[in-house]
Amino acid sequence: MGETIVFTSGKGGVGKTTTIANIGAGLSRLDKKVVMLDTDMGLRNLDVVMGMEDQIQYNLLDLLDNQCRLKQALIRDKRYPNLFMIPAALRCKRIRDYESKLYTLITQLKQEFDYCLIDCPAGIDDGFHFAISAADRAIVVTTPHISAVRDAGRVLYLLESQRLKQVDILINEYNERMVKKHDMLSKSDIEEILGTNCLGTVPLDDKIIVSQNQGIPVVSLRAKSARSFMKIVREIDNPKIIPVDLNAEDPCEKQQHIFLGGKECGYEG
């Protein structure tokens, strides 16, 4: 039985699509079978970032409307062994009416895939509620910028009523040099403010832009962000290794917090 992880943020442009593409590719490198769903209807991006834009015949809405079979909507990545994508539709009327159909689809996908990764639109409107409706777990992507962290806080608050088995944050565009100079919020600052465990940080990296120009995930290249993504991928795939932040005041206390957090929601993993 696979796991469904929604990637959300509140604020737009913080790196949800970039993160999902690389975590998807990274998990498939670890021999996991992965499907990525783009629910950012109207403004699809994941296909472009993955370099799959010219392979689209059907989309998620076609599939939910029974206009095509699952096999027809799944686009297989030619470079990674077990990586698939279902693109977003270019229209998005009454998306919340599709929540039960999405749930049925995801239940079906979880039989076949180890991971089902959902790319969520920015904002906290209907598209957000649709995207989180069938998730087991959420990763809230933020940057260390004050407005992004605030919006992440808002999203974490909204996710609380969702009864997910695990919620973590991921910090993108992290600048170690600025953090050292106390010019940027640090990983532990953000964990403290949001009261949530951080899976890892990804630096601002020109190679991400270059790789997206070419339609390939950066984890395929030699790049500092590729190493960060692979570290996060291992973190996601191996929940027994609990992240210990050496900068935190008391790492033991933090471990316990994560453990209890999971237990409270009935997490068996």
Ligand X SMILES: Nc1ncnc2c1ncn2[C@@H]1O[C@H](COP(=O)(O)OP(=O)(O)OP(=O)(O)O)[C@@H](O)[C@H]1O
When the beta carbons of 116 and 148 are compared against other proteins, the nearer one is: 148
Distance of alpha carbon 9 from alpha carbon 17, whole angstroms = 11
Per-residue binder mask for other proteins (CB under 8 A), 193-232, x = binder: xxx-------------------------------------
Q: b or e along 145-169 (b: 16 or more beta carbons within 10 Å of the residue's beta carbon)?
A: eeebbebbbebbeebeeeebbbbbb
Nearest to 135 by CA among 240, 28, 8: 8
Segment interacting with other proteins, rule: CB under 8 A, options 2-10, 13-21, 30-38, 151-159? 151-159
- Residues 54-113 binding other proteins (CB under 8 A) are none
Applying CB under 6 A, which of residues 82, 142, 197, 225 lies at the interface with ligand X?
A: 225
d(CA 177, CA 194): 22
Q: By the 8 A CB rule, do 140 and 169 touch?
A: yes
Size of the chain in residues:
269
Longest dimension (CA), the chain: 55
Q: Does 189 engage in binding with other proteins (CB under 8 A)?
A: yes
Place of tokens 């992440």: 152
State the Cα–Cα distance between residues 32 and 50, nearest whole angstrom.
Answer: 18
Q: Is 261 helix (H, G, I), strand (E, B) or coil?
A: helix
DSSP 8-class letter at 74? P
Q: Choose the one of Mg ion, ligand X, other proteins, none that binds residue 269, judging by a C-beta under 5 to 8 angstroms depending on kind.
A: none
Partner whose footprint covers residue 182, from ligand X, other proteins, Mg ion, none (CB < 5 to 8 Å by kind): other proteins
Identify what 65 binds: other proteins, ligand X, Mg ion, none; CB under 5 to 8 Å per kind: none
- Cβ proximity to ligand X: between 196 and 225 the closer is 225
Site for ligand X in 70-129 (CB under 6 A): 122
Tracing tokens 């991006």 back to the chain, one arrives at 45
CB of 176 to Mg ion, least distance (A): 25
Single out the segment in contact with Mg ion by CB under 5 A; choices: 24-32, 44-52, 86-94, 110-118. 44-52
- Each residue 193-212 as x (binds ligand X by CB under 6 A) or -, in order, gives ---------x-xx--xx--x
Structure tokens belonging to residue 14: 């913080």
183 phi and psi angles, rounded to 5 deg: -100, 0
Q: Which positions lie near other proteins, rule CB under 8 A? A: 146, 149-150, 153, 156-157, 160, 179-186, 189, 192-195
Q: Which positions lie near ligand X, rule CB under 6 A? A: 9, 12-18, 40, 45, 122, 172-173, 202, 204-205, 208-209, 212, 225
